[in-house]
């Protein structure tokens, strides 16, 4: 359709033991295309995936770089295990950039075919730098060693149309469509900071392009700021050992064992194959963990209306291909096919809605007070096709709705929209406004932290209240778990390097229900081990879900069932079998910690990553309002008696709220101290040179950043 | 009185693992139950009697999300 403005031919590198050994660099300012060598240093210190992303990003930017600076890069890499087909969850692409929401490195991951096909096309990693002066798309043909940059003004913006059109454009025929993957965003990405990236894979049974998202932190916003409409990769010929693993027999053996577990146990455990991640919605409500009406409470009687069974029986299409990479028997992706849209530019059309994931039902449902499956799916579809991170959207709009109900903002500010909890049509209108870059919706796209300032400075809202109820830390909106009663998870969110996403640690059951980690040191150990372990998935190209959303039948006999030791050993075995190396479970943690500490230092370099940046809003820690206190009065009164020796009978409600707050804020301070010690940080949150040396990361450029902060 | 996950909880005659889980609203399917250190398989929940002063551990195996 558009004019090809640059062509580049290359000889695709063959993948050996998980690495192609090459990375691709494209600068869209001057259309420069270069090949780089993946060095032994990079493999040793950064392993792959997110590690490679952060290393390239570090070298691309300066402390003055902002998200929209030309030198900011979007970097993506799949990792050495990525692309094997014998185990579940092996197609993750890791993406990093300097975030428009946080100003520090964000990392996010997505399923879909792009990362594996990119590697099989000869590229372990891909750096996108510069800013184009017109809309373009980048096409990588991995079979023929060809890269094209094409003008793309005339292509549609929204993902469901764009991915379909590009998949058809580059496919020779219907059968060829599975060999193509598109990374794109949508029309809302250029109007706000919470634009996300869609990663497509073609579903030959449904005959539609489907998507997984690298959603967090505004990566789609950056893509559109660079005027890149899409990245497309084509590779035909995926076979089980394109990674040329050192020991394919071991990979086969571990894979067969795992698939048998999945076959035998999933229906008795989490039912990931039947409903996917949304299986936990009712559970979260029953345990008081489902964020409801801006995290005020942890559940609602109305949640039965959006229970998993409702989606399974009335909305989802079962029995079709639901994995987002070959060989994944967990198959947790789900679809509502032939869904009739009732609003927006596509009203009246029937579409396939990918989802809903747990975060979607919790965020666009309970947290907005919307207990209507149809409205959840419609918001889900439009967030996806417009390129909106629905977690940031939901948490931001939940904050707005509470501001509206507490009369901090009003219809004069919202363009007349009655933004009360439960108003699904108003939420949909906001989403459409974000797409058009109009009205109050355009403000919503700026995210919670920016809105706090606008509401206070321009609308006269109460700054203390807004600081307490705006659920963001470091500028990133919280993921959808209520966690007031779990001190460990308060740290799991607010001490997470990139911001409050739960992919570092989800400790609520261990802490709040199981009572396995009662002391500060116990919690700090958990906030060391789990973030380090879970970082590793992002280094090698794996999905986290197959680790612990199903466990071996005899997992209960192990010393530490929460770690799922047999699955950890599976990962060690697979890594060694792919790469020919010989790590053990301790070196796995070491690989992670190198990148984890590197990312923390990177944040320090960009002006954050200190103690002041690790504080949560008070709503994360405890009850802000009288209604919240009263909703759990028995528990909170008991804590006043048992933990502080106070007599709640003699205290006013405001006195009880204040005493609870003093206690909980002090507990959080003590948690920070313990975690910092365990992670080898100063009490200001700075990784020490000694710790960096212990893990082999005392690189001069890192020491140069941390030393002035000691 | 019994202990459930380190916290005191009132005991009553006729208490079984199943009735205790129901009382505590421990609805999550993916759990491990140990009574005085002894693993209790799911098929025994209905009939496994919980005695006064027992130490019950109910491990919820979700560390995910």
> Model confidence over B9-59: pLDDT tens digits?
999 999 999 999 999 999 988 899 999 999 999 999 999 999 999 999 999
Which of A477, A507, A522 is the C-terminal boundary of a domain? Answer: A477
Q: Quick check: A561 and B58 CB within 8 A?
A: no
Asked whether residue B56 is domain-assigned, the answer is: yes
Provide mean pLDDT across the span A6-30. Answer: 98
Asked whether residue A264 is domain-assigned, the answer is: no
Q: Does B6 touch chain A (CB under 8 A)?
A: yes
Asked whether residue A578 is domain-assigned, the answer is: no
Instruction: Identify the bridge partners of residue A23 per DSSP, sorted by sequence position.
Output: A36, A125
Q: Is the pLDDT of residue B65 over 70?
A: no
Instruction: Give exposure, A65-75, as e/b (b: 16+ Cβ within 10 Å).
Output: bebebebbbbb
Residue A271 is predicted with a pLDDT of 81
Q: Identify the band that residue A128 occupies on the pLDDT scale cut at 50, 70 and 90.
A: very high
Residue A201 is predicted with a pLDDT of 96
Domain identity same for A141 and A162:
yes
Q: H helices then E strands: how many in chain A?
A: 28, 17
Asked whether residue B8 is domain-assigned, the answer is: yes
Domain identity same for A362 and A458:
yes
Strand, coil or helix: A29: coil
Distance from CA of A402 to the nearest CA of B (A): 26
Pull the structure tokens for residue A662: 């003093």
Q: B9 contacts in A (CB within 8 Å)?
A: none
Residue A702 is predicted with a pLDDT of 98
Residue A2 is predicted with a pLDDT of 86
Provide mean pLDDT across the span A35-39. Answer: 98
- Of B6, B39, B60, Cβ closest to residue A509: B60
Q: Does B44 touch chain A (CB under 8 A)?
A: no
Q: What is the pLDDT of residues A482-534, one digit of tens each?
A: 999 999 999 999 999 999 998 898 999 999 999 999 999 999 999 999 999 99
Identify the residue among A283, A362, A513, A545 best suited for mutation to test binding to B, counting B beta carbons within 10 A and taking the highest: A513
Asked whether residue A120 is domain-assigned, the answer is: yes
Asked whether residue B32 is domain-assigned, the answer is: yes
Q: To the nearest whole percent, how much of chain A has pLDDT over 90? A: 92
Asked whether residue B40 is domain-assigned, the answer is: yes
β-pairing, A105-110 vs A180-184, is unpaired
Pull the structure tokens for residue A324: 């987002």
Q: Does B8 touch chain A (CB under 8 A)?
A: no
Distances (CA, A) of A138 to A211, A448, B55: 19, 33, 62
Q: Quick check: A509 and B5 CB within 8 A?
A: no
Q: Is A582 exposed, middle or buried (0-12, 13-18, 19+ CB in 10 A)?
A: exposed
Q: Quick check: B28 and A283 CB within 8 A?
A: yes
A67, A195 Cβ separation under 8 angstroms: no
Provide mean pLDDT across the span A10-32. Answer: 98
Domain count, chain A: 3
Distances (CA, A) of A356 to A334, A348, A384, A386, A497: 7, 20, 11, 16, 27
Domain count, chain B: 1
pTM recorded for the entire structure:
0.97
Nearest residue to A314 via CA among A297, A293, A338, A331: A338
Q: Does B36 touch chain A (CB under 8 A)?
A: no
Asked whether residue A482 is domain-assigned, the answer is: no
Measured CA to CA, the distance from residue A20 to residue A124 in angstroms comes to 6
Q: What is the pLDDT of residues A267-282, one digit of tens each?
A: 888 788 887 887 889 9
CATH of the domain at A23: 3.60.9.10
Distance from CA of A220 to the nearest CA of B (A): 23
Domain identity same for A164 and A197:
yes
Domain identity same for A20 and A95:
yes
Interface size, chain A vs chain B, as Cβ–Cβ contacts under 8 Å? 70
Provide mean pLDDT across the span A455-465. Answer: 98
Q: Identify the band that residue A331 occupies on the pLDDT scale cut at 50, 70 and 90.
A: confident
Q: Does B59 touch chain A (CB under 8 A)?
A: yes
Asked whether residue B16 is domain-assigned, the answer is: yes
Which of A477, A507, A540 is the C-terminal boundary of a domain? Answer: A477
Residue of B nearest to A508 (CA): B63
The torsion of the CA quartet A458, A459, A462, A464, rounded to 10 degrees, works out to -40
Q: Which domain holds residue A348?
A: 270-477
Strand, coil or helix: A228: strand
A526, A488 Cβ separation under 8 angstroms: yes
- Of B7, B27, B64, Cβ closest to residue A506: B64
Pull the structure tokens for residue A38: 């993946």
Residue A560 is predicted with a pLDDT of 87
DSSP A426: H
Q: Does B7 touch chain A (CB under 8 A)?
A: yes
The torsion of the CA quartet A528, A534, A538, A542, rounded to 10 degrees, works out to 160
Residues 6+ apart with CB under 8 A from A387: A158, A159, A184, A185, A186, A187, A188, A189, A195, A196, A197, A198, A220, A224
Provide mean pLDDT across the span A425-431. Answer: 98
A166, A230 Cβ separation under 8 angstroms: yes
Q: Does B14 touch chain A (CB under 8 A)?
A: no
Residue A591 is predicted with a pLDDT of 98
Residue of A nearest to B25 (CA): A286
Measured CA to CA, the distance from residue A149 to residue A7 in angstroms comes to 7
Half-sphere exposure (Cβ direction) of A644: Cα atoms closer than 13 Å: 19
Identify the residue among A514, A547, A560 best suited for mutation to test binding to B, counting B beta carbons within 10 A and taking the highest: A514
Residue B64 is predicted with a pLDDT of 60
Q: Quick check: B61 and A268 CB within 8 A?
A: no
Q: Quick check: B64 and A544 CB within 8 A?
A: yes
CATH of the domain at B38: 3.10.20.30
Domain identity same for A173 and A26:
yes
DSSP alpha helices (H): ranges in A172-230? 219-225
Identify the residue among A515, A534, A560 best suited for mutation to test binding to B, counting B beta carbons within 10 A and taking the highest: A515
Provide mean pLDDT across the span A289-312. Answer: 95
Q: Quick check: A555 and B5 CB within 8 A?
A: no
Domain identity same for A611 and A493:
yes
Q: To the nearest whole percent, how much of chain A has pLDDT over 70? A: 100
Pull the structure tokens for residue A30: 């001057």
Q: B25 contacts in A (CB within 8 Å)?
A: 286-287
Asked whether residue B14 is domain-assigned, the answer is: yes
Domain identity same for A97 and A129:
yes
Using only C-alpha atoms, chain A has a radius of gyration, in whole angstroms, of 24
Q: Is the pLDDT of residue A441 over 90?
A: yes
Write down the mean pLDDT value for chain A.
96
A606, A103 Cβ separation under 8 angstroms: yes
Q: A507 contacts in B (CB within 8 Å)?
A: 63
Residue holding tokens 């940046």? A613
Measured CA to CA, the distance from residue A386 to residue A403 in angstroms comes to 25
Distance from CA of B35 to the nearest CA of A (A): 13
Domain identity same for A466 and A523:
no
Domain identity same for A275 and A191:
no
Q: What is the pLDDT of residues A656-670, one digit of tens each?
A: 999 999 999 999 999
Pull the structure tokens for residue A645: 């020796």
Measured CA to CA, the distance from residue A241 to residue A112 in angstroms comes to 19
Q: Which domain holds residue B13?
A: 2-60
Instruction: Identify the bridge partners of residue A97 per DSSP, sorted by sequence position.
Output: A106
Measured CA to CA, the distance from residue B2 to residue B20 in angstroms comes to 11
Instruction: Identify the bridge partners of residue A340 per DSSP, sorted by sequence position.
Output: A350
Q: What is the pLDDT of residues A216-263, one digit of tens each?
A: 999 999 999 999 999 999 999 999 999 999 999 999 999 999 999 999
Complex prediction ipTM: 0.94
Asked whether residue A560 is domain-assigned, the answer is: no
Phi–psi pair at A588, nearest 5 degrees: -55, -45
Q: Identify the band that residue A559 occupies on the pLDDT scale cut at 50, 70 and 90.
A: confident
Asked whether residue B65 is domain-assigned, the answer is: no
For residue A311, give the H/E element and its range: helix A308-314
A697, A595 Cβ separation under 8 angstroms: no
Distances (CA, A) of A408 to A397, A411, A447, A463: 14, 11, 17, 10
Q: Quick check: A514 and B59 CB within 8 A?
A: yes
Is the previous residue joined to A195 through a cis bond, with omega within 30 degrees of 0?
no
Domain identity same for A203 and A296:
no
A356, A162 Cβ separation under 8 angstroms: no
CATH of the domain at A431: 1.10.569.10
What number of residues does chain A have? 710
Instruction: Please spell the DSSP secondary structure of A435-456, one letter per residue.
Output: HHT-HHHHHHTT-HHHHHHHHH
Helices A487-494 + A520-540 axis angle, to 10: 40
Domain identity same for A290 and A188:
no
Asked whether residue A87 is domain-assigned, the answer is: yes
Domain identity same for A447 and A518:
no
Asked whether residue B39 is domain-assigned, the answer is: yes
What number of residues does chain B have? 65
């Amino acid at each position: 359709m558009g004019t090809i403005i640059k062509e580049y031919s290359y000889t695709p590198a063959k993948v050996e033991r998980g690495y192609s050994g090459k990375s691709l660099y494209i600068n869209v300012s001057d259309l420069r295309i270069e090949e780089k060598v993946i060095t032994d240093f990079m493999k040793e210190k950064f392993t792959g995936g997110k590690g490679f992303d952060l290393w390239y990003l570090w070298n691309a930017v300066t402390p003055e770089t902002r998200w929209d600076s030309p030198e900011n890069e979007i970097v993506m890499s799949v990792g050495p295990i990525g692309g094997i087909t014998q185990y579940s969850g092996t197609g993750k692409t890791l993406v990093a950039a300097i975030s428009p929401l946080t100003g520090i490195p964000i990392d996010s991951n997505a399923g879909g075919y792009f990362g594996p096909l990119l590697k099989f096309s000869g590229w372990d990693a891909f750096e996108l730098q510069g800013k184009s002066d017109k809309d373009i798309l980048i096409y990588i043909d991995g079979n023929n060693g060809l890269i094209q940059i094409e003008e793309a003004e005339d292509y549609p913006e929204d993902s469901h149309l764009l991915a379909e059109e590009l998949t058809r454009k580059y496919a020779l025929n219907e059968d060829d469509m599975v060999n193509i993957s598109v990374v794109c965003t949508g029309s809302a990405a250029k109007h706000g900071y919470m634009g996300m990236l869609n990663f497509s894979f073609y579903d030959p049974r449904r005959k539609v392009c489907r998507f997984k998202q690298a959603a967090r932190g505004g990566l789609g916003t950056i893509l559109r700021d660079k005027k890149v409409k899409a990245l497309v990769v084509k590779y035909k010929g995926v076979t089980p050992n394109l990674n040329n693993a050192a020991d394919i027999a071991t990979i086969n053996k571990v894979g067969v064992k795992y698939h048998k577990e999945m076959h035998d146990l999933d229906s008795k455990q989490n039912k990931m194959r039947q409903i996917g991640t949304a299986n936990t919605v009712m559970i979260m409500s029953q345990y008081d963990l489902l964020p409801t009406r801006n995290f005020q409470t942890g559940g609602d009687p109305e949640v039965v209306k959006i229970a998993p069974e409702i989606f399974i029986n009335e909305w989802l299409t079962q029995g079709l291909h639901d994995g987002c990479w070959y060989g994944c028997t967990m198959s947790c992706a789900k679809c509502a096919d032939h869904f009739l849209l009732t609003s927006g530019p596509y009203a009246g059309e029937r579409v396939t809605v990918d989802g809903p994931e747990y975060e979607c039902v919790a965020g666009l449902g309970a947290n907005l007070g919307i207990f209507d499956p149809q409205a959840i799916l419609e918001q889900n579809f439009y967030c996806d096709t417009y390129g909106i991170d629905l977690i940031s959207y939901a948490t931001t709009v939940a904050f707005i709705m509470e501001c509206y109900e507490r009369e901090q903002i009003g219809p004069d500010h919202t363009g007349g929209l009655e933004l009360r909890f439960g108003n699904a049509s108003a939420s949909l209108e906001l989403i459409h406004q974000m797409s058009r870059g109009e009205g109050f919706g355009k403000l919503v796209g700026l995210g919670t932290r920016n809105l706090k300032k606008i509401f206070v400075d321009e609308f006269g809202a109460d700054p203390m209240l807004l600081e307490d109820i705006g659920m963001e830390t470091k500028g990133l909106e919280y993921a959808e778990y209520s966690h007031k009663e779990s001190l460990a998870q308060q740290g799991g969110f607010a001490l997470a390097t990139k911001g409050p996403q739960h992919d570092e640690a989800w400790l609520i059951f261990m802490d709040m229900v199981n009572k396995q980690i009662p002391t500060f040191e116990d919690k700090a150990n958990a906030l060391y081990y789990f973030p380090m372990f879970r970082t590793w998935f992002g280094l090698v190209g794996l999905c986290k879900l197959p680790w612990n959303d199903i466990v071996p039948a005899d997992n209960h006999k192990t010393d530490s069932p929460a770690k799922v030791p047999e699955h950890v050993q599976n990962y060690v075995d697979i890594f060694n079998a792919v790469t020919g190396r010989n790590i053990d479970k301790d070196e796995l943690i070491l690989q992670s910690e190198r990148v984890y500490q590197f990312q923390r230092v990177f944040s320090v370099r960009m002006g954050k990553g200190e103690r002041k940046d690790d504080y949560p809003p008070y709503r994360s820690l405890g009850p802000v309002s009288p209604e919240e206190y009263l909703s759990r009065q028995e528990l909170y009164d008991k804590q006043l008696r048992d933990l502080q020796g106070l007599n709640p009978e003699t205290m006013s409600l405001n006195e009880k709220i204040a005493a609870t707050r003093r206690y909980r804020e002090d507990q959080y301070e003590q948690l920070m101290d313990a975690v910092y010690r365990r992670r080898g940080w100063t009490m200001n949150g700075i990784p020490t040179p000694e710790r960096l040396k212990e893990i082999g990361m005392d690189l001069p450029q890192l020491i140069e950043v941390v030393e002035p902060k000691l | 009185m019994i202990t459930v996950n380190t916290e005191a909880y009132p005991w009553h005659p006729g208490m079984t693992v199943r009735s205790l889980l129901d009382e505590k609203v421990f609805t999550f399917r993916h759990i491990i139950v140990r009574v005085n250190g002894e693993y209790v398989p799911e098929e025994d929940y209905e009939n496994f009697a919980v005695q006064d002063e027992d130490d019950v551990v109910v491990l919820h195996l979700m560390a995910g999300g």
